[in-house]
Structure 1
C-alpha cells in the first residue's frame, strides 16, 4: 500500500458510498485508476467489506477489539515492524507513541482466536522485543471522526 491507497481508504472510511469520480478528484487520479486500486485493495484484504449502520445501532457489535502495545528492539530502525502491521487487515489503528511503549495497535477481528493469531504474528516479527495486549470489554464512547457530540452511553 502506498500513500494514495491510504488516502483512498481514509475517504472510503468517511463515506463508503463516495462516487469514484469524486474520490478520484480527492486523490488526484483518474476514475478508472481509483476503481482499479479499490479492486486491488479488496483482493489484498485491505478492504474487507462495506457495512450499513442504522441510527441507534453500534457498528461492529460482533467484533472482538483489542489493543496491542508493542516494544521494538530499536525505536529508530523499526520501519519493518510498521510495514508488517500495515499489511494486517484487522489493524484499524497503528500509532507511534512516546514513553514506555513504542507502538499502539488497535485490532478489530471476527473472533478471539483471530486476535490471538495476530498477537502471535506481531510477537514473532523481527524487531519486536515484547508486547502487552488488552481486550476491549465494552465501548463507552465511539465518536466518528470530526464529531464531538455523538457519544454512546451504556
Structure 2
C-alpha cells in the first residue's frame, strides 16, 4: 500500500465522517484525487465500512462481558457462529486457539439479562460457557497503525 493510502486509511479510521475536503487537505491531495483513492480502497477491500460507535451506557447496555464457549461434543459440527447469529446481544464472535473454541463479546442491560443470554447460548449451541464481566474499559476501538 502506498504511503498516501496509509495516510488516508489512518485519517478515516480516526474519523470515518471526515469530509473529502478535509481529508484532501490533511492528505495533501485534491478532493477528486482523494475521492478516487477512497473509492479504490473500498473496492479493494481495504476499507470495509463505516460505523457509528454508540455509548453503551446511554443506550441501556451498561454490562459488557466476554463469554468463552466450548462445545460439549468436540466432534460436533463447527457451526456455532451461525447458530448464535440471531442473538443481537452478541457484539462480536472470535474463533480462538486454546481450550475454548470461541470468545463472544456481549452487551446487556443487567446481570439478569446476562444470565438469560448465557442460558440462551447454552441451549442454542449446546456449549459450556465461562464468563468474564468487564468492570471498566480504559480504551476501545483504537485505530490501527497503518
TM-score, normalised to structure 2, is: 0.55
Whose radius of gyration is greater, 1 or 2? 2
**Contact 1:67–1:135 at 8 Å: present in 2 too?**
yes
Q: Which has the higher contact order (CA 8 A, sep 6+)?
A: 2
How much does 1:114 deviate? 1.5
The answer for unaligned runs of 5 or more in structure 1 is 1-13, 17-25, 28-49, 53-58, 149-154
Aligned mate of 1:61, from 53, 57, 63: 57
Distance 1:120 1:97, change over 3 A: same
Q: Distance in 2 between matches of 1:51 and 1:98?
A: 28
CA contact (8 A) 1:75 1:102 kept: no
Does the C-alpha gap of structure 1 residues 131 and 51 become closer, same or farther in structure 2, counting only changes over 3 Å? Answer: closer
Per the alignment, residue 108 of structure 1 pairs with 107
Deviating above 3 A after TM superposition, structure 1's stretches of 4 or more consecutive aligned residues are 144-148
Equivalent position of 2:74 in the other structure: 74
Write the distance in 2 (CA, Å) between the matches of 1:115 and 1:147.
34
- TM-score calculated relative to the size of structure 1: 0.52
Shift of 1:74: 2.6
**Runs of at least 5 residues in structure 2 that lack an aligned partner in the other structure:** 1-14, 18-41, 44-51
Q: CA deviation at 1:78?
A: 2.3
Residue among 123, 130, 137 paired with 1:132: 130
CA RMSD of aligned residues (A): 3.4
